[in-house]
Amino acid sequence: MQFKKTVPYKLKRIIPMLGIAGASLFMGGCEKEEPLRDVELHFSPDNYFEISYEDRGEYGISELSKAYVNEPTVGTIYLVPDGDWATCKTDIINEVRRRYLEPLFDYSPKFKGKGDFNFYPGAASQVSQDSLWFVNKGFTINKYRPLSDYQR
């Protein structure tokens, strides 16, 4: 007695088809992740309200800054200096770093520096630790200042 049954599919074709069918059971709907957005917080020598607050001599991180840190759709928070910083001497440079910016960078790794401080020519080099700190955080110092300003 001879049994002969013809299978309409070849075995080497069935295994991949079963794999594809099984994989489609585990795949959910295609959910696109929203890309993280970047935001900018601006500050100037006479206006720090977006990044900091002062209450009876105590300084702290602004509520806006904290809200952006806690927002899951925000990737990077850029701190951008605006205005004219040329009147800032060495003591002011140190104060800006210590009082306003350093607490933000310590608070969250989402904060990055962006933009240029146009400090008084030579003032940043007198406080080398502070100027290196600014550059390491992403800021530039006197990038757009013409060379003639240094020759005075």
Residues 14-28, mean pLDDT to the nearest whole number: 67
Q: Is the pLDDT of residue 102 over 90?
A: yes
When pLDDT is cut at 50, 70 and 90, the band that residue 27 belongs to is low
Residue 112 pairs in a beta bridge with 78
Entry pTM: 0.73
Residue with tokens 């008084």: 120
Would you state the pLDDT for residue 131? 87
Higher-pLDDT residue of 79 and 7 is 79
What's the pLDDT tens digit per position in 121-132? Answer: 888 888 888 889
Element (H or E) spanning 124, and its range? Answer: helix 123-126
94-100 CB contacts, 8 Å cutoff, 24+ apart: 94/127, 94/130, 97/130, 97/133, 97/134, 99/52, 99/59, 100/43, 100/48, 100/51, 100/52, 100/59
Residues 43-57, mean pLDDT to the nearest whole number: 91
